[in-house]
Amino acid sequence: MKIGIPPPYRVVFLDYLRVVAVFMVLLVHACEQFYFGADGGFYIQSLSDASWVVGIDSACRAAVPLFVMASAYLLFPVKRPTGEFLLRRIVRVGVPFAFWCVVYNWWNGGSWGQMLFNFPAATGGHLWFVPMLIGLYLLMPLLSPWAERASEKEVRGWLMLWLFTTTFPFLRKLWGYFYGAPDFGAVPFLYGECPWNSFGTFHYVSGFFGYMLLGFYIRKFLPKLDRRQTMSVAVPLLAIGWLIVSRFFYCRISNYGTEFPVSAPYAAAVDLEMSWEFCSTGVAMTVAAYFLLLRRITGEGAFYRYVVRPLSEASFGVYLVHILILCPVVAALRPHMPTPATIAASAAITFAASSLVCVLGRKIPYAGKLVFG
């Protein structure tokens, strides 16, 4: 086999998808430098910054769910014995995760004891993705026997139920609007949730489970659409989803002040991100749209073999290491460039540098893939 030629099992469009998705992640994290202050609270300097951050970040919120769908498209239902599957997945993502938790903790002077309970806060927060993904890997063998025999109608029904749960961020706000905060907590509870029970009626069919199911559904039941069909479905989904994601965020900024700069505690940023939640309706629509559009890519020429595929294979490593590069780059460029240029240039420079580190790092004998994924 010649070097660089994809083996028969390679799903070409997923390599393009991973490259696009990891660059989206970098854009999101570059945007965050413009709406988080030095103290970690919500802070936006100007109306222009608000507009650019909302527009770019809203378009890129699909990044993490796209990675989940790619994993499900390839791995679900599980074909290997459960023990073998879980061991391979944990080594593949868990070992690099643990290594970089240690690196970030040491670099930022974080609490070592916290690593016994969760990813350390000193990682900058982006490593939350890996424990979530491992959780889905734990679920896949359990659901695989059902997936093997499920009909399209069955799977579509579960997807409809999951789509209902993506409205929950908005339903919680409606609860608060009509009835105020509940007597027993600041966050409105839905369908059986309460302070002593966080597992409501729809807990087990909500969250990233739906993206896992959607990736499986598209692979098994949805024929590849032609160009016209793809555009007629994906473009409206993308446009409407982006409007939902962006407008709710933008319109609610005024709740924290009508004159810029606008600042508020960190909890305000969490509240503002209601429509940015990964498992909310608008984001789910953009995820489906991007996936369908990227599924149309079939090119396997030299650009794919020598650029896209190596970058795809290094994408997990880029996700792990990029914060170490991105923050200093944004800080260096921000005083000299307008906001959109800073966001784009910072993401591009970080992508190039992180990719170079990870592509070369993966070539280190024995340890390379254990460190860079």
Question: What is the DSSP secondary-structure string of 289-350?
Answer: HHHHHHTT----SHHIIIIIHHHHHTHHHHHHHHHHHHHHHHHHHGGGS-HHHHHHHHHHHH
User: Is the CB of residue 166 less than 8 Å from the CB of residue 280?
Assistant: yes
With tokens 């302070």, the residue in question is: 195
Cα–Cα distance, 78 to 144 (Å, whole number): 6
Residue burial 29-44, b: 16+ Cβ < 10 Å; e: rest: bbbbbbbebeeeebbb
Split at pLDDT 50, 70, 90, the class of 3 is very low
Answer whether residue 97 shows pLDDT above 60.
yes
What pLDDT shows up at residue 184? Answer: 56
User: Is the CB of residue 340 less than 8 Å from the CB of residue 69?
Assistant: no
Sign, CA dihedral 280-282-285-291, equals: negative
**DSSP symbol at 204:** G
Closest CA to 129 of 164, 169, 97: 97
Q: Encode pLDDT of 13-72 as tens digits.
A: 999 999 999 999 999 999 988 888 766 677 888 888 888 999 999 999 999 999 999 999
Split at pLDDT 50, 70, 90, the class of 185 is low
Structure tokens at 9: 């099992």
Express the helix, strand and coil content of the chain in percent, nearest 5 each.
Answer: 70, 0, 25
